[in-house]
A and B are shown apart, each in its own frame.
Chain A
Amino acid sequence: MSKKVESLESSSKVKSFFKSPARITLLIATVFFVIALVESITGAVDISSPGTSGATLRFAIPLLMAGLGGLWAERAGVINIGLEGMMIVGTWTGAWFGYLYGPYVGLLAAAIFGLLSGLFHAILTVKIGIDQAVSGLAINLIAAGAARYLSGIFFPPVGGDRTVSPPVETMPTFTIPIIAPFFKSIDEKEIFLISNISGLIYGVTTELSVVTVGLLLLLPLTSWVLWRSKFGLRMRFSGENPMAAESLGINVYRTRYIAISISGMFASLGGAYLSLVASSVYREGQTAGRGFIGLATVIFGNWRPSGVFAGSILFGFTDALRVRQNESVMAILLAAAIIAGLLSLYYALSRQWKPMSIAGIIALTGFWLNRQVETIPQEFVTVFPNVATLIVLTFLAQRLTPPAMAGMPYRRGSE
C-alpha cells in the first residue's frame, strides 16, 4: 500500500515538473544546450542546421497528419489501422488530379477521396460492426492494389513501367520576411548556442510551402475541437463509454461516422503532401509504412494532439537525419546520453531512486555505445519510431491514458 502511495507521489512530482512552464523552458533550453555542445565537440554540424530543421518539418507533416487522423478515430472509439491505405489514396488521387487540374485540385481530390475511404471504414466498423483491425488491414490491401491497378491504366509508361505518375506542377513556397533574414544573419555569426537556435528557426521559416502552413493549422484546430467544442466532448465520450454516451442522448454512431471520415481525410492529406509537396510525383510505395508510424505517434503522444505533434517531430527528425547525414545520428546518441545523465542527476537530487537508476543505465549505455560503435546502421534508424513506441508501451503503459473503448466493438442497445 505504502509503495503505491509513494509511486503516486513521485508520478505527481513528475507531472508537476512537466507542468510548470518555467521548467519546461528550462528543459528545452538544456536540450538545445547539450545539442549545441555535442555539435561543437563532434563536429556533426548537421543536427541543428537550417537544412535539417526544414527537412524535419517536411518529414514530420505526413506523420503528423496520419497521427492526427489516428487520433480522431481513436478518440471516437475506433482504431484506424487503415491509415496507411488512406495515405496511399491521398498520394495517388493527389498526384493524378494534381497532374490533370493543378495541385490545388489535387489536394481537394485527396481530401474528398480520403473522406470517402474513412467513411468506408466507418460503415464497416460502426454500421456493420466487423472487426476494426480486419477492416483497416483490408483497406490497406485494397488501396495498395487499386493504386497499382489504376497506375497501370492511367499513367503513361516510363521505361516500360507504370509505377510513377507524370510530374505535377510544384506548389509555391514563401519565406517569412524580416524573421527569416534576421535569424539567418545570426546563424552565420556562429555564436555558440544562439546561432544553433537561430539556424533552426531560419530553417523552418524559409521556403515554406503554403500547404505546410495550412496542414499545421489542423493541429490547433484538432486541439480546439477535442477539448473546447461540443462535438469534441461527444467524440471523447463515445470513445470512453459509448453506452453511457448513448443514454445521455449522444448519437454515438453519427459521432463516430464523422470522426472516422475526418480521420481518413487527414491521413489522405498527409499522403497528398508526400506526392505534391515533398516531391512532385506519385511513386509506388511512396508512403513506406508512414501510416503505421502515424499510428505509433498516437500511442507515443498519449492520445493528445500535442503529443502526436511531438512524436511526429521526433520521428521526422530521425528520418531527416537518416536521409541527410547518417553520422549525425551518433551525435544524437551522445546528446541523448548526456540528457539522460542530467535527468539521472535531477532524480538523484530529488531522491527518486528508481527513475534515477533507469536514467543512469540509459546514459551509461549511450556513452558505451558511442565509444564502441562507429555508426548506427541505417536500418535501426529507420525503425526507431517502432522501437520507441514498443518501449513506451512496455515501460510506461501505466502512464498512458488511451480512450477506454478504443478498438472495442460497440452495438447500439447491447452491453
Chain B
Amino acid sequence: MMKSKIFWGTVAPLAAILNSLLLVYVILKFRGVDPIEMFKLMASYGFDPRNLVSELNQTVAYYMAGVAAAIGFKMLLFNIGIDGQYRMGAFFGGVVGAAVSLPPILHVLLIILTAMIAGGLWAAIAGYLKVRRGVSEVISNIMLNFIAAAIIAFLLSPSLLGILPEGSQTLQTREIPASGRMPTIKAFDSEIYTFLFISIAVGVAYWVMLNKTVFGFNLRATGLSFRAARASGVNAPRMIFVTTVLSGAIAGLVGIGTLLSDTHSYSMAFPAGYAFTGLSLALLGRNHPVGIFFAAFLWSFLERSAPVLEFEGVPPEIVIVMQGAIVLSIVVAYEVVARINLRQQQRAVGSVAVDSSITKEAN
C-alpha cells in the first residue's frame, strides 16, 4: 500500500508532464518547426547558470504560493484568494517597511510579520464567510481578489500612500531603507535572494506542523472527514477558519523576496496570477513540501526559458498552454488512479466477503 502511494505520487506527475510535452510537440509540429530542436534550445537557455539564478528567485515566490495552496488543500479548502492575499502582504509590507526605522534584522522581521498579518487578515474575510455564512470560499475569494487589487490601486494614488518616481510610469510605495532590506548572494553575475532560506524554513515548518503536531493531525483529520473529526472532539469550523488564515499568512510572503532583495518597494508592476499557479503547484507536488519545490522550479524554468522560442517564430505563450495542460493531466491522472484503487478495494472486500460466506456455509 505504502509503496504504491509513493509510486503513484511520482509516476502520475511525470506522466502528466510527458503528456503535456506530447501536446506541445504536436502544436510545434503544426507550427512547422522541429519540436526536439525547440526543447533543446529551451533546455540550454534555461540551464544557463545566470538564468538558473533568476529561476531560483522566481521559484521562491512560486514555492510560497504552492505551500499556501497546499495548506488549504489539506483541509479541502480551495484558496483561490492567494492573489489578493499576496498583494495585501507585499503592499503593506512595503508601506510599513518604508515608514519605520529599526535596527537591520528587526526591521526585516517586522516587514515579514506585517506581510503575514496582512495576508492572513485578508484571508480571514473568506474564512469568516465560509464558517459563519456558508459562503463557498471559491466565489468569495474570486471577488476578494478583485477588491484587493482595487483597494491597493486606490491606496497607491500619490495623495495617499504611493509615489510616482521621476521618469517612471508606474505608481509605487516609498522605498524601504537599507536596514529593512535583505542581502543577496552573488552568483554568476546575478544575485540570489536570501529569502530563499526563509522559504525553505517555511517548507520545513509546514512539514513539521502537518506531521508532528496535534494541530496538524487535527487539520488532516478534518480534511479527510469533517464529521469524523467533529465527532472526535475537533472544533472543525474553528479549524477551517484557522487554516484559511494560516494559508493567507503564507500567501502574504509570496512577493516578499522580490520586495526585500530587489525592488525595495511595492509597485503596480508586481505580477498577478499567483493564485492559480499556487494551486497548480500544490496539485502537481501532491501537497508535499519537496514535491511543491520541484513543481515551482519546473514552472519558473518553463517561464524563463520560453522567450528564447520567440527568435524561432514560436510565440512563448505556448508555455501557458503547457502549464494548463500539465494541471489538467495531473488531476485527471489522480482521478483515474483513485477510481482504479477504489475498484480494486471493492473487489478485494467483495472476494473476502464471498470467501467468508463460503467458509460459513461449509461449517
Contacts and interface: CB of A to CB of B under 8 A. Distances in A.
Interface of A: 79, 81, 124, 128-131, 133-135, 137-142, 144-146, 148-149, 151-153, 162, 289, 292, 295-296, 299, 377, 379-380, 382-383, 386-387, 389-390, 393-394, 397, 407
Contacts of B335: 128-130
Interface residues of B, number: 40
A141 B331 contact: no
A-B pairs, top 6 by smallest CB distance, nearest first, are: A145-B320, A152-B315, A142-B324, A148-B317, A379-B150, A386-B143
Given A138-B327, A141-B320, A295 B139 contact: yes
22 contacts: A131-B331, A135-B328, A137-B279, A138-B327, A145-B317, A145-B321, A292-B142, A295-B142, A379-B151, A382-B146, A382-B150, A383-B150, A386-B142, A390-B140, A393-B129, A393-B133, A393-B139, A394-B133, A397-B133, A397-B134, A407-B136, A407-B138
A379 B315 contact: no
Given A151-B315, A390-B143, 5 more contacts: A153-B31, A296-B143, A377-B154, A383-B150, A389-B143
Contact of A138 (B78, B135, B149, B328): B328
Contact of B321 (A79, A149, A386, A407): A149
A149 B315 contact: yes
Nearest to B143: A386
B153 interface: yes
B325 interface: yes
A286 to B, nearest CB: 16
A79 B129 CA distance: 19
Given A141-B324, A148-B320, A394-B135, A124 B332 contact: yes
Nearest to A402: B136
Contacts of A79: 138
A133 B279 CA distance: 11
Contact of A387 (B147, B279, B315, B324): B147
B319 to A, nearest CB: 8
A142 B129 CA distance: 30
B339 to A, nearest CB: 8
Contacts of A382: 146, 150
Contact of B140 (A81, A380, A393): A393
A151 B332 CA distance: 29
A61 to B, nearest CB: 21
Nearest to B315: A152
B80 interface: yes
A144 B320 contact: yes
A1 B83 CA distance: 43
Contact of A386 (B78, B133, B146, B332): B146
Contact of B80 (A137, A162, A389): A137
B133 A142 contact: no
B332 A128 contact: yes
Interface string B271-283: 0000010010001
A386 B150 CA distance: 11
Nearest to B160: A377
A134 B133 contact: no
A141 B129 contact: no
Interface in B296-329: 315, 317-321, 323-325, 327-328
B320 A142 contact: yes
Given A389-B143, A393-B129, A134 B331 contact: yes
B244 to A, nearest CB: 16
Nearest to A296: B143
A130 B332 contact: yes
B100 interface: no
B336 interface: yes
Contacts of B31: 153
Nearest to B27: A149
B143 A134 contact: no
Nearest to A383: B150
B190 interface: no
B157 interface: yes
Given A382-B150, A407-B136, A394 B328 contact: no
